[in-house]
Amino acid sequence: MPRFISPLVLALVGVILFGDGAYIHAKAWLAQVLLDRAFNESVTTGRAVKPWSWADTWPVARIEVKRIGASAIVLDGTSGQALAFGPGHLNQTVDAGERGIAVYAAHRDTHFRFLRNVAIGDAIDVTRSDGKHFRYRADSSAVVHFDTSGIDPAAQGFELVLATCWPFDAITSGPERYVLHATLIETREQGFVNDPSGAH
């Protein structure tokens, strides 16, 4: 009899773990639907719109990598609650399009899962909640220890960093982070296009 219990218990544990994983992905997907609505309303009205009444954060940007069909709404801040629903903007960093480094972070198994498919040279589009649009080009990536990111807070360029945990397929958290760096190549504001390199 005991040898029949063991496979049954293992099967039950497998179902529970699968259900838990499916729940996390379903929650992430539903949150992005609600965040997308709130973000579009923010762009239209010019004010911060919470995605649900009890939210302690709000959408501040949309990230898109069109080559791979990836899109995610970014939330203000990187609290545990914010990161459960979408990428977060590290508050100590500048907004996208400003001089310095804008840093967005998210979980590797949900909202930044697509980073594994981003190639050097890919265009990364960021639209802020004020409607301003910025295009960056991915130019480098690195795996770093969480406390030695190499991100220079005093950088004077127009830069973007997308960060997540490493390795992508790990089951438990570890000390390493994957950091994708990109540089601003184009700004769009009400039909006006600006090339920050000065080429135009």
pLDDT digits (tens, 9 = 90+) for 29-53: 778 889 999 999 999 999 999 998 8
**pLDDT beyond 60 at 115:** yes
2-194 is a CATH 3.40.50.300 domain: no
Give per-residue pLDDT as tens, 143-195: 998 888 778 877 889 999 999 999 998 887 889 999 999 999 999 875 555 66
Give the mean model confidence (pLDDT) for residues 71-79: 93
Q: What is the mean pLDDT of residues 137-142?
A: 96
* 148 within 8 A of 111, measured Cβ to Cβ: no
* Cα 145-148-154 angle, rounded to 5 deg: 145
Determine the pLDDT at residue 194: 66
Is 13's pLDDT higher than 60? Answer: no
CA atoms within 13 A on the CB side of 75: 27
Enumerate the H helices of the chain as residue ranges.
2-45, 80-85
- Where are the domains positioned within the chain? 2-194
pLDDT at 7 over 90: no
pLDDT at 99: 96
* Residue 192 backbone phi and psi in degrees, to 5: -90, 130
Q: Yes or no: say if 74 and 134 are a contact pair by the CB < 8 Å rule.
A: no
For the whole model, what pTM was predicted? 0.80
Band (19; pLDDT cuts 50, 70, 90): very low
- What pLDDT is stored for residue 200 in this prediction? 44
